[in-house]
Each structure stands twice: as C-alpha cells, then as structure tokens.
Structure 1
Amino acid sequence: MASVLACIVALLCFKRSKASPTASPRACVELEVPVSIDTTAIKWLQPRVDSNVDAVDWVANATTWTSPNMTESMIGTITVRQTFKINGQLCVPPKGSKRSDILHLATHGGGFDKRYWDPEIKTKEYSYVEAALAEGYSVFTYDRIGTGKSDKPDAYDIVQLNVQREILRKLTSLARSGKLVSASKNLSGIRQTDNRLNNYKPSKIVHVGHSLGSILSIGLIQNYPTESDGVIATGFLHTNVQLGGLNVATWGFEFARQNNPILFKDHGSGYCVQATPSNVQLQFLKKGTFEPALLDYAWKVRQPVAVSEFKSLLTAFGPDGAKFKGPVHMVIGENDYGNCAGDCKGTYDLDMIKTQIYPAAKDVGVLIQPGTGHGLALSKNATAGYRVSFDFLHKSGL
C-alpha cells in the first residue's frame, strides 16, 4: 500500500512545477577545498585500460559470469594518506530565508560533475541548486575526485567508493565547523563582499545524492549515523529486486583520453567515458520525457568514471544504518534503465526498508518519478521531484 501511495503522489507531481513562485537571487562562492584523508583502499584484480580496445575488454571482464567476483578480486589493501583539492560551490539564499541554516550537501553520480545539480541551460526548470535556494536552503555542490575541476588521482588504487565516502565525511565536518570557506582557496573573489558566505555555519546538513553520489550519502549514514541530519537519495533504491540491471555493459565505455584527447587530457589510465550521445541517452534519459537540448548538454558535460569505482561499489556501505535517526527519501525514475532494467514499479519493499534497514529513522519514503530515466535532474519533471523531496523534509522539521 505504501508503495502505491508513493506512486500516486508522484503522478500528482508529473507536470513540470516551480519550487517557489520566484527563484532566489544567487549568492555563491567557488572554492578549492583541501581535504586530507587517512583510510584504506583495496588492490583489485582487473585489466588495465589504456585504449578503447582495453575499455571493451575491461567491460567484458567485469560482466562475464565466470570472472572473479568482488571478494575474489580483492588481492590486497592500500593505505591512502593524501590531501586532495576538491572544487566546490557554496550558495546561500537571500537574507531572512528561514531555512538558510540547513545545508544541502549534494554529491553527483557517475558520468557527471557538480553541474548535474545546476545545468547551465534552462536553470529555472532543471537546477536543483536553484530550486533549493528558492526554498530557502543553502547548497554546497562539489566535484568528486576524478571529475570536473577536482584532482584526478590514480583510477585503480585511489578513486574508490570508500575513499570518496571519506572525502564526503571530511567536507561534512568542515561545513559543520563553519570553516568551509576560510579553510579553502577562494576562486570567486567574493570573500570581502558577503559575510553570509564567508562565515556560513549550518545547524543541520542534509546529504543529497544522485546514483553513485547516493551510494556515498547512504554509505555515510551507514558508517557514521550521527553525521547527517537527513538524506535525499536519487537514482537509488534499497531492496530493489531488479538491481542486477545495473551493468557496465550499458554504458558504452571508451578510454577517456582516446575518446577526446583535449577534453580529457588530465585523465590517465583507467578512466572511461561514454562513447556517444546515444550511450548517454540509454543510461540517463527516457524518450518523451527529456528535451533534446538537455541530452546535448549531458553529452557536453559528460565526465569519466574510474574503473575501481565500479569494482568498489559495495565498499561504501556500512553496518550502522539501523542507528540513523534522520529522514531518508529515495527518488527513482519510473523508467530507470540501469537500476531497474527499465521499470521500477513494484521492485522494492518499503516496509522492509523501514523495519530492517532504517528502523530508527524519523521517516522513510520512496518516490517513483513517472516517465523518468536515471538522470532525474535532466528530465522535464525535475522540479516536481524536488518539490516532493522538499515537502518530505519539511514534515521532519528540515
């Protein structure tokens, strides 16, 4: 019954909607954040990728049923003590906004950088940043290592999910301390003009994710359940019986540097990228529910994925999710091809999620967003989905 209600709610929000009557004027600062971590990564048994031929071979190796499974592929451990340069953007709403002390810390998924949350075309219709600011929230988006303007370290031994999770944890800690701006290199020159940014210190942090970014946000609360006040996990669904459809063979990978030697000149061995716009469409969008301009945009801003990010997907999760006390909202496109083999209706058990995975959570909800693919922020009903998530948070006092 609960899952049916979720679908009904989604259907009511199918048409494109605005997050508020007027969009918020932006007050943002671009930062280069130094993030130091001390953790353990895994040495994986896998082919190297230094050409398009290698990329196809890597995909075949990863999907052949007789290839070593995840446990069998672990051949050692690696100590990672390193400081990474993380590019991020902090935005605050206008003065007097009643939720400005609540920070949405957003982590993008594979194939994108932080621009996923804030498309540079038709911003009012698609931007999560714009919608959250209009709702009165503050927002921090960032490029995960290996993407955008952040560091691009070794794709085999460093760019792994547990490393990315620890970076998210450190960013969370910096934000809570009020030192996110002061500890960073200011790339916008705005430090002297807006103390709301310079001295920003949130009272609550909501972790927002898309796809791989949702896995990192969920991994954070499952390993450190007191370090988040709430989660919006988009492109992700617990207990999904069709999750086997998430297969690297659907990405259409090529070696990033060979695909575009100029665009991906900073990406070395082991970084793969989608080969064509059609590959992007298959993975992220559903015919009839996206504008061609948004597919063009997704292709323009596409980002490589490190091979060990796929190998290490399960290493982000942890044993303490049952201790998390905040609200958890999962949003999945009805026609998410990678997650649900094209149809997410009836693929999950909300009661099980509530009683077995997050029994202490303040609230748990699922939104099946109608007629939408994996790239929810690039679909025509993007802002309708944001509206449902915001209302969900409001019920929990966020």
Structure 2
Amino acid sequence: MAPLKAFFPVLLASLAACRQCTNLTIPVDISSRQGLFKEVPVETNLDVRAFTTRFNEYQANLTATLLQGYQTLKGSYEISAQYCHPDNGSNGIIQLLSHGIGFDKTYWDLNYNNFNYSYVNNALENGYSTLAIDRLGIGNSSHGDPFNEIQSQAEIEALNAVTTKLRSGAIGQIGSYKKVIHVGHSFGSVQSYWLSALYPNNTDGVILTGYSTASQFLAYFAAGANFHSARLNQPLRFGNVSISGLQQFAAKYNVSMDLVPALQQLVEKAGLDLSAQDVWNLVGSTEVGNLITGFNKTAPPLNYPSGYFANSDLTSDQYLFLFPGNYDVGLAVVGEQTKQPVTTGELLTIGSAPMMSPFTGPALVITGEHDVPFCGGNCYGQVPNITAPNIPAGVKTAFPAASAFEAYIQPDTGHGLALHYNATAGFQVIQDFLANNGLAAQ
C-alpha cells in the first residue's frame, strides 16, 4: 500500500557524521560549437506530445530535420554545486558528480530516511571529496534558450570548465585537486563519457552509472516519460506565467499538502465507499499531485520557459527509473516532488557523442539489471552490433585505451540506481573499483 505519509514533509534527522558540505555557485565561461535548430511549437502539452511523436518516429531523424546549421555559442554562466569533504579534510582526489535527466544535484545526496540513500555519504566514508553540480540549464544553474543554447555540447564545455577550475584551485571555497574522477548518471554519464573523449587528459577516472552505448532504447524513455511542458506540469515550481493567480487559487481553496486527508474526510462524510488508498491513488499516482501547492512549491519559482519538458507523474517515474518491488514509494514521491526537466536541445543532441574515447585511465559502467532507457528493461539481453556478453559490457569498445574497464549489472534495479533499496551496495562497487585501479582515497 502506498503510504499516505509520503504526502507530508519528511522529518529530516541530523546530517550524517564525518562530512562537511557547502553550497556554492561556480562562474564559467564557455565556447561551444553546436547545432542551430529550427524552433517548433512547444507551448502546450499537446505541442510537447507532438514533438515527442516526431522525435520517436521509426527510421526518421528529428535532429536532422530541424538542423539548419551550426553556431558557436559563447557566454558566461553560473553552475550551482554542493561541495563535500570528509571531516579530516581532502586528500587530493575529488569525484565530480553529474546528474541525469529528471534530477538535479540532490540525486547524489538524497536526504530521505536520514541520508540512507546518499551516494555522497558513501564516497565520503571511503575518503573522497565530492562536487555535485546542477548541469548547465537545470536546477539552480543558469537557464537558457531550450532549443539553441542548452544543448549537450554546451553542457560538456561547462563541465570541462568546472573540472579545470578544480585542478587549478580557481574555486576559492574549495582549493585545488590533483585528481578528478567524473561520475555520471544517465545523461550525466553521457556527458562524463563525452568529456573523456574530447578532453581525455582532464579526467583521471570515469564512472558511468545507468549507461550503455545501445541508443535504440532512447525512444522508450521519451515515450514512457509522457512529457509535458514543465511550466504546466508543476506550475508553482517550474512556471513562468500566472503564478500569482495560481497561488491565490490554492490559498482560497486550501489546496495544500493536506489535500489527501481532507478529501478522505469528505469521502467519509458523504458515506462513499472510497478507501484511503483509493484517495491516495487518485492524487499521489496521477498528475493531480503536481498541482498541490506544497507538493510543487519553490521559492522563487524556477521560471522555465516553454521548451523545457517534465515527465508527467509518479507512474512515469516508476517506468523510467524504478524496478517495482525494490524501492520505497515514499522516496519515489519525493523524487516526483523534486524532479527537474529536460530541454528540446538536450533531446536533439543527446546522440551526438563521439563513438570512441582515447581516455587511458580506468572506466567503470554500472547499470541496473532492468534499466529501461539504456537496456530496454533487460541488461542481460543482446542487441544488434554489440558483440558482448551483455549490453553494458558493450561499452568496452568505446574505451579501447582504458587502463582498466569493467561493466557491472546491479541486480533488481531500474535506471535510477540511487533510488533502490540496494543502492549502497552499488555505490560500494564504484568505490572498490576506484581503489583497485590506482585511485584509492585512503
């Protein structure tokens, strides 16, 4: 039964011991050679679904259809980050963490259930420092035009700029690090791999979670997300129009976090045969939840323009990220409450990464057994043009010069490794791989 308490604020215990964390903003200057796309209507949810329909057309290529040429994007941006180090200080090795689509930097340090799902805590316990970033265009980092500014290439350049600053000590609150390990999840893994291909000397280790080189399953992801315009899906968090009117409506009709028990009281007074679970299902597992004030309120709103897409609701979260039976529904609700969007430009350029990386350090791929966007739900399956014992193992061909390569399949896990009951076991696989391949922190 889905817990009603999942709709109430989580009472957070004190931060786990042995860590010092700071939120900061990192200015970066980038120059990015990238696509110039024809913009198509993406104002309404029906527009967004039309975009997805064209994006997923068999034997068609929407990227090529909309591409009008190329441009060099130059600009100054801000990257929001959380820096953490063990209580006993840094030892010169830091993990730079890049989140995937649907998340922000908090993916790596989930505070649910006293941080029991925190990758950051696991890394700190193994002696590493961490820097988790909101990717360019997402969360509290600089936003931009969703078609022709916030594209994969621009985000790679921002990631590389942050990396260079880490090495040189140009981030005043942090100091310099001799070794930088790039850890990604999903689209963050795409970008970490991409950085290793373009700037192989600017990374010391590559950890790719929720990743493979089997691109044919991207359509599964786009369809299963049931994308909406972000500003319409969670208007009080993401919106950029009519926010004051929505807030007045919510206040007048008491549309708050108490909606579930309030509805249950009305049901009981009316003598209707509708259980608490039925009420929860109507609100918690549908788009209704995204309209509840406390459920999606951010101060100030993130102000995403049209062209930023969000997955529809909790059911799409389960399909995209979770393996049924091995996750806490309460944590899944928190994931829906705090989700983040994807831009049209990111979708149109996500498949443009180089086919091969000249990186000569250690590389690990760790992907959930039932990952949908990178394995079609079965990472032990076989796909055309990949001659490997399983789908993640096929990534080895992209790292021909790696000093060490390993592909690990996390059992009973979907795409969102950090959201499952056995997450910490997967985290430790990562730390052990690093320690066994010349990147031990202790």
Do these two structures clear the TM 0.5 threshold for a shared fold by scoring above it? yes
Measure how far apart 1:247 and its partner are: 3.8
Asked whether the 8 Å contact 1:124–1:131 carries over to 2, the reply is no
Tell me the distance in 2 between the aligned counterparts of 1:229 and 1:246.
33
Give distance in 2, aligned partners of 1:117 and 1:352.
26
* 1:343 aligned onto 2:378: yes
- Mapped to 2, the partners of 1:284 and 1:270 lie a distance apart of 22
Shift of 1:79: 2.1
**2-side partners of 1:112 and 1:273: how far apart?**
10
Aligned to 2:222: 248
In 2, the alpha carbon distance for the partners of 1:152 and 1:204 equals: 29
Larger radius of gyration: 2
Q: 1:146 aligns to what?
A: 137
Select which of 404, 411, 423 maps to 1:370. Answer: 411
Which residue in 2 is equivalent to 1:211?
A: 186
Where in structure 2 are the equivalents of 1:229-308 lying within 5 Å?
A: 229-238=204-213, 240=214, 243=217, 246-265=220-239, 266-308=303-345
Question: Does 1:330 find its partner at 2:365?
Answer: yes
SS in 1 for 2:176: coil
Partner of 1:7: none
Equivalent residues of 1:229, 1:327 under 8 A apart: yes
The match for 2:70 is 77
Q: Which residue of 2 aligns with 1:63?
A: 56
Contact 2:211 2:374 in 1 (8 A): yes
Q: Is 1:312 aligned to 2:305, yes or no?
A: no
Structure 1 stretch displaced more, 22-31 or 49-58: 22-31
Q: Could you say if the C-alpha distance between residues 345 and 296 of structure 1 is closer, same or farther in structure 2, counting changes exceeding 3 Å?
A: same
Is the Cα contact below 8 Å between 2:99 and 2:108 reproduced in 1? yes
Q: Which amino acid aligns with 1:233?
A: L
Deviation (angstroms), 1:69: 4.7
Which residue of structure 1 lines up, in the alignment, with residue 157 of structure 2? 166
* Alignment deviations for residues 223-253 of structure 1 (CA, whole Å, 9 cap, x no partner): 1111100011001023x48646644111111
AA partner of residue 55 (structure 1): V
Question: How far has the Cα of 1:66 moved from its partner?
Answer: 5.7
Aligned equivalent of 1:193: none
| Structure 2 CA distance for aligned equivalents of residues 90 and 199 of structure 1 | 8
User: How far apart in 1 are the matches of 2:320 and 2:398?
Assistant: 28
Q: Deviations over 1:58-98 (max 9, x none)?
A: 1111112264453343211222111111110111112167x
SS state of the match for residue 346, structure 2?
helix
- Count residues in correspondence: 355
User: What stretches of structure 1 of length at least 5 have no aligned partner?
Assistant: 1-21, 183-197
More relative contact order, 1 or 2 (CA 8 Å, 6+ apart): 1
SS of match in other structure, 1:122: helix
Report % sequence identity.
35
**1:396 match:** 437
* Aligned partner letter, 1:236: Y
What does residue range 104-183 of structure 1 map to in structure 2 within 5 Å? 104-180=95-171, 182=172
Instruction: Give the CA RMSD over aligned residues.
Output: 2.0
Identify the residue that residue 227 of structure 1 maps to in structure 2: 202
TM-score (norm 2): 0.76
TM-score normalised to structure 1 length: 0.84
SS in 1 for 2:336: helix
Please tell me whether the aligned partners of residues 250 and 338 of structure 1 are also in contact (alpha carbons under 8 angstroms). Answer: no
C-alpha deviation, 1:359, in angstroms: 2.3
Deviation at 1:358, TM superposition (A): 1.7
